[in-house]
Each structure stands twice: as C-alpha cells, then as structure tokens.
Structure 1
C-alpha cells in the first residue's frame, strides 16, 4: 500500500500537530477535532491514531510545539528579575499569537514535552540566584504565569482597550459618566492625572509581583 495519505504526502506526527495548530488558530481549541485535522491533511480520521493516541495527547504536543517556537535566550548577563520579565513576555506573546493556548495550558496534564520541560528548567535556573526552596520557586513561577494568563484573557476579551493601555486610563474611560460621589476613593482615582512619560503597564504589574518575591527573599 502506498505511504501517501491524501495530498499532504506521507502522514507524520509533526504534520498532524502542525495542522491541528492551524485549525486551533483559525477556529479555536474547541473546534479543533480529529476530523477537522484529518480533513486539513486530506487523510482519514483513523489514520491519525497511528501517530497520536487521542485528542488530549494531540493538545499536549501542540502546546509543546508552540512553547519550543518561543525559545528562551541564554541567561548570561540576565539577573533573576530580567529573566522573569523575559519569561512573562515570551508567554504573553505566545498567548496573543495563539489564544487557544490559554485554554490548553489550563487543561493539559503531564507529562509535558521536551520544550515545556526546558522552559520550566530555564525559569527555575533563573531563580537560583535567590536561593529559594524548590517549592517556593515553583510558586513564584506559577504566580507569574497566572498574572500573564489573566492579563492575556482580559486583553483578548476586549475589555482592556489597546495592548499596553494603562489600567488607570481604562478606569477613567469606563467610569467617566458614573456618579461616584458615594465612592470618594474611586472618584479621587479617576480624577487624578496619569503619570507622565511612557509606561508599560504589563511590566509594571509584573514588577509588583517581583517586588513581593524579593521582599520575602532578600
């Protein structure tokens, strides 16, 4: 029997994962079914199962492939804070480029692939400077991940305005026509001028988290 499967040529795990990512990018993770992936490849559904056990394994492979595409730089010359900013910005970019990753990373279960394990090792290595207990370092990384995911969900949900908008400007816009006389602190907040100069609200929010980590582990 010919090894060719439809117009895409010989079927492989790599081709299946790439096609699944394309479907998820276009239609979302819920719409990424084995049938749609097979149709994209011009193959039969059952032929996919020779390479991928089930949809959960496919999602794991998709997450790992995307993670590998956002490779982390060498840590030479990076202190732990700079490394955590790199970690957060890499994840932020991945979520905006592939919004389905927000759902996938919340539901995918171990074992992770090589790229995911490499990213975790990179982050843990960066925090060795603080001499944290292993579980404390893991909690710090998880807190940063949760912050990035939450920020990405808000942005992708269309409730934050443009990327990089200061939360203060968004509050001012959303509350401008509301009577806040019974809420003096909110009224004071939205009537204050925003800080001058260019700001990166995403980085500012991350620094608040990093300040907490540094304060507990000087």
Structure 2
C-alpha cells in the first residue's frame, strides 16, 4: 500500500463511475483492503481528489517551449487540457472544486502558460485573465463533448446543433433561421481550434493596445 497506488486506483475508479461515486470505501475495495487503511496516506476524500488532479496534471504536462510562439503554445495548452478532460471526465468537476494550495505540477502548468504570453507584454493580471478564459473555453467545449453522445461519436457539435434545429419552425427568429438554412460547408473542420483562435485574436489585440 502506498499513496501513489491509492491515487492511481482512485483515478481508475473515477474514470469508471465518476467523481461522486468514487468513495474511499470503493477505492479500498478495489485495493482489497479496508477504508481505514487509506487514511494512513490521505486525510480524506478531498485530499485524495487533490492528489488525483495533481497526478493527471503531471501526466499531461506541457512540453518544452523552445521554438514555440505564444499562439502555438496556447494551442498546445488547449490540446493537452482537452485530452486530459476527455480521458478523465471527472476532472471537469474536480478542477472546479479543488482549492489552493496546488501541487508542483499544477503550479508548473500555470507558470508555463503565463510565460508563454510574455512576448505579448501583457500586464500580469491581463495574462492571467487570458489563460483563465482559454481554460474556461476548453472546459466548456469538453463538457459539450462529454455530455453529447453524438459529439462523443466524433460528430461536429455545430453540425449536430444545426441538425436538431432543422425541423424547428424558426420564422419568428429570422437571424437564427438564416443561420440554420445555411449549413456548414461539407468536409471536416477543426471547430475546437477555430473557436480557440477567436479568443486568441482578442488576446493578441489586447497585447497590441
């Protein structure tokens, strides 16, 4: 029995049943021991969740930044976080409830993100807001995919949305009607990257001002 083994097991349980159903008792049963033996390594479920978030954050650590501009770095950040959320959907809930202090992996991720924006010469609080906005976009997009069976199967959420509204009478909503009557062009599109670029355009504009 070790703290690392407990955390790894808890991640596996949460991946299967979700964060709410991931209890100390269930983790202990998976380990073939009693729940009380876990408390020698973690104080409670909250501490266990913090350790789980820290481990996954380390597993999806951002790469070295050599030769990567700020914009590409933000795409790398978004893709890494996106992959983590889709692999471990419970992380969407956990990151909303975990409170400081964060571990070394989480702090390193924050430092990496902020340093990537140095070339824009943003004020510290503006850089932090930019990173937070990107994080919120990634989490929101991941929630759409995790909660949408069609999107999980690989369908573009925008196309799925248009399809759902295609049979709805929208004559009282002319702009929405015009939008739905002009379907997205055929072929695949990287809707996630396109949405991120909208945010990055705004960040870049602030950097110039």
Q: Does 1:200 align with 2:195?
A: no
Among candidates 60, 71, 80, match of residue 81 of structure 1: 71
* 1:88-139 Cα deviation digits (max 9, x unpaired): 1111110100000000000001111111111111101101111111111111
Question: How big is the alpha-carbon RMSD for the aligned residues of Structure 1 and Structure 2?
Answer: 1.5
Among candidates 121, 133, 138, match of residue 143 of structure 1: 133
- Residue ranges of structure 2 left out of the alignment (5+ in a row): none
Instruction: Provide the rounded CA distance (Å) in 2 between the counterparts of 1:173 and 1:85.
Output: 29
Aligned equivalent of 2:22: 32
Q: What is the CA distance between 1:163 and its match in structure 2?
A: 3.7
Aligned equivalent of 2:201: 211
Contact map agreement 1:70 1:94 (CA 8 A) in 2: yes
Instruction: Provide the rounded CA distance (Å) in 1 between the counterparts of 2:192 and 2:33.
Output: 43
TM-score (norm 2): 0.94
Instruction: Provide the rounded CA distance (Å) in 1 between the counterparts of 2:186 and 2:36.
Output: 60
- Equivalences for 1:106-185 in 2 at 5 Å? 106-158=96-148, 161=151, 162-163=153-154, 165=156, 167=158, 169-185=159-175
Q: What is the CA distance between 1:72 and its match in structure 2?
A: 1.0
TM-score (norm 1): 0.90
Instruction: Provide the rounded CA distance (Å) in 1 between the counterparts of 2:99 and 2:53.
Output: 11
- Residue ranges of structure 1 left out of the alignment (5+ in a row): 1-10
* 1:1-36 Cα deviation digits (max 9, x unpaired): xxxxxxxxxx11101101111110111000111111
Q: What is the CA distance between 1:51 and its match in structure 2?
A: 0.9
Report how many residues are paired: 207
Contact map agreement 1:164 1:202 (CA 8 A) in 2: no
Instruction: Provide the rounded CA distance (Å) in 1 between the counterparts of 2:154 and 2:41.
Output: 39
Instruction: Provide the rounded CA distance (Å) in 2 between the counterparts of 1:19 and 1:153.
Output: 24
Aligned equivalent of 1:3: none
Q: What is the CA distance between 1:175 and its match in structure 2?
A: 1.1
Q: Is the partner of 1:217 in helix, strand or coil?
A: helix
Contact map agreement 2:162 2:183 (CA 8 A) in 1: no
Q: What is the CA distance between 1:195 and its match in structure 2?
A: 3.4
